[in-house]
């Protein structure tokens, strides 16, 4: 279930890029500029491809986590783990 195998960029960069685009309704060039400010040089067309490839997957995982969170609300954690840890576990990334 490694969705990121063979990619040039790290998983975290891809997840953050797609998350910025989906969550904050930014343009691809805005996301590109934000990443460039953080020292990551990536093209806006690459971000577009990532959104097409991973957008639906990340959206489904986020809705799953949101549903679990609403049912099991405990001080901003799910079953003793932070939400970001839960996303990584569902994406198959070692926490």
Is the CA virtual torsion 54, 34, 64, 92 positive or negative?
Answer: positive
Phi-psi region of 23 (alpha: psi -120 to 50; beta: other; left: phi over 0): alpha
* Global confidence as pTM: 0.65
Tokens of 90: 């569902």
Per-residue pLDDT of 25-77, as tens digits, reads 899 999 999 999 999 999 999 999 999 988 888 888 877 777 766 666 655 55
Domain segments of the chain as ranges: 11-91
CA distance 55 to 70: 22
pLDDT tens digit sequence for 2-22: 777 777 788 888 888 998 898
Task: List the beta strands (DSSP E) in the chain.
Answer: 77-78, 81-82
Q: How far apart are CA 46 and CA 79, in angstroms?
A: 35
Between vectors from CA 59 to CA 54 and to CA 63, what angle results, nearest 5°?
A: 150
């Amino acid at each position: 279930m490694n969705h990121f195998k063979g990619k040039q960029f790290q998983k975290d960069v891809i997840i953050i890029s797609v998350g910025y685009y989906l969550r904050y309704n930014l343009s691809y060039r805005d996301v590109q500029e934000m990443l460039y400010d953080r020292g990551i040089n990536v093209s806006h067309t690459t971000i577009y491809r990532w959104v097409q490839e991973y957008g639906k997957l990340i959206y489904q995982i986020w809705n799953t986590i949101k549903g679990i969170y609403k049912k099991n609300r405990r001080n901003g954690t799910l079953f003793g783990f932070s939400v970001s840890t839960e996303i990584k576990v569902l994406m198959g990334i070692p926490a």
